[in-house]
Amino acid sequence: MTSFSVNAERLVARIRDLGAIGRDTDGRLTRLAASETEKAGRDQFCAWVRNAGLEIAIDRIGNIFGIWHSNENRHEAPVLIGSHIDTVINAGIYDGCYGVLSGLEVIETLKTEGFAPSRPIAVAVFTNEEGVRYAPDMMGSLVYAGGLPVEKALAAVGTDGTMLGEELQRIGYAGSEEPGFLKPSAYVELHIEQGPVLEREGVSIGAVENLQGISWQRVTIDGVANHAGTTPMSMRRDAGHAAARVITFLHDRATASNTPTVATVGCINFEPNAVNVIPSRATFTVDLRDPDEDRLKAEEAALAGYLTELAAAGGLTITAERLARFEPVTFDKHIVELIEATAGRRGLTSKRMTSGAGHDAQMIARIAPSAMIFVPSIGGISHNPREYTPDADLIAGANILLDVVQRLATGQ
Ligand code: GLV
Ligand code: MN
Ligand code: MN
């Protein structure tokens, strides 16, 4: 098989250009799903896709597909490459965008080189991967894989009170294709690791063989507002203090467990949120993850037990609502082996690994053989503007994606 290489300058320039879209006046990058800033990112992506001579298709949940097919292969199942371009608040420029833009780069390279694949190759931008504005995360790929009815997803109400379906209409990305309209023969997602392992071990490529389970809940604790100066400590029903105890419980339990379990409380609100009023209500999110489903279930049960105890002891009312729940996923063995072999052929070191972050591949694995390729994240930092991967590592990863897709598209 002839070996090609991606256009390094074009790929790096596009990552920077997309990363400049959605900056606020303080220079912070925030492109929440279906927002005005994300529309600008989508428009830029579509312009590049059109320029590359690909067909654009948009489905009802707003997933965008850039499709390269020929008259000969148009009826075959495509190889799909994908990721997302929505971001968290105050994000880095690589998470999701690197995979999407490398997917486009791979197609453009193969097209320019005159490669004739025996099946179409498509690049996908999945809607609302981050789940910051609308829950659950990985929503576009989940709907695409048939895991959530599109009507239910479109009716999701965001943290700002908006409805996803209306926002997609407003920004012009409520497409007409039925989610799932392209049934991929294989799915590959290239992503920055977002963790410290590859850099620490000096390994270039992660061949991602599985992805941990994710459990998101929103907990509401109701106590009683009262005067901060006059209410004796023994007479308080303090929702704020109870929330702090839950945070400590989760943190200490995960830290002491000696397992890969991780627990995070990333969002919290007090009511009435005043310096001299005991909080009457605390609302916060819980993000629990573990590669082992039984252990993840045990962590959820332990939290539920603790909330019951806390409610009884403190005269509080506590409710928990599920926001997202995904079981761990094992990726396709053959694609993982292909990634390793490809890295070897390019003279790059590789390592099998587990993804700690959620990804669209986790959803698409339900409908097609799937796997992921990771490249190092300096300092293991992500969901942070300091997220960084050197250009050489980005290019190396994109070339692995190129080789893997080339093989998958020829059945070699
Ligand atoms: C997505 O970025 C997640 O892992 O939460
Ligand atoms: Mn991502
Ligand atoms: Mn992310």
pLDDT in tens, 308-325: 999 999 999 999 999 999
For a pLDDT cut of 70, what percent of the chain falls above it? 100
Which ligand 1 atom is at minimum distance from the Cα of 287? 5
Domain with residues 213-326, CATH architecture: 2-Layer Sandwich (3.30)
- Tokens for 174, please give them: 């409520």
Atom of ligand 1 nearest to the CA of 138: 1
For domain 8-212+328-408, give the CATH number.
3.40.630.10
Pocket test for ligand 1, best of 86, 285, 359 (most atoms within 8 A of CB): 359
Q: Strand runs (DSSP E) across 350-401, as ranges?
A: 350-355, 370-375
For residue 411, pLDDT beyond 70 = no
306, 153, 305, 163: which is closest to 243 by C-alpha? 306
Span 69-91, mean pLDDT?
A: 97
Domains 8-212+328-408 and 213-326 share a fold: no
Model confidence over 333-384: pLDDT tens digits?
A: 999 999 999 999 999 999 999 999 999 999 999 999 999 999 999 999 999 9
User: What is the residue extent of each domain of the chain?
Assistant: 8-212+328-408, 213-326
* 195 touches ligand 1 (CB under 6 Å): no
Q: Residue 24 has what pLDDT?
A: 95
Instruction: Answer yes or no: is pLDDT of 108 > 90.
Output: yes
How high is the mean pLDDT of the chain? 97
As to burial, measured by CB atoms within 10 angstroms (0-12 exposed, 13-18 middle, 19+ buried), residue 38 is buried
Q: Per-residue confidence at 2, pLDDT binned at 50, 70, 90?
A: confident
Cβ atoms of 5 and 392 within 8 Å: the answer is no
Q: Measured in angstroms, how far is the CA atom of residue 346 from the centroid of ligand 2?
A: 25
Ligand 1 pocket: which of 383, 384, 387 to mutate (most atoms <8 Å of CB)? Answer: 383
Q: Decide: 137 in ligand 1 pocket, CB within 6 A.
A: yes
Ligand 1 atom closest to Cα of residue 356: 4
Could you tell me the distance, in angstroms and rounded to a whole number, from the CA of residue 60 to the centre of ligand 1?
23
Q: Is the CB of 49 under 6 A from ligand 1?
A: no
What is the full DSSP assignment across 259-309? SS-EEE---EEEES--TTB--SEEEEEEEEEES-HHHHHHHHHHHHHHHHH
Measured between alpha carbons, how far is 170 from 154 in angstroms, rounded to an integer? Answer: 13
Ligand 1 lined by 33 (C-beta under 6 Å): no
Going from the Cα of 411 to the center of ligand 1, the distance in angstroms, rounded, reads 32
pLDDT score of 67: 98
Render pLDDT for 111-158 as a digit per residue (tens, 0 to 9). Answer: 999 999 999 999 999 999 999 999 999 999 999 999 999 999 999 999
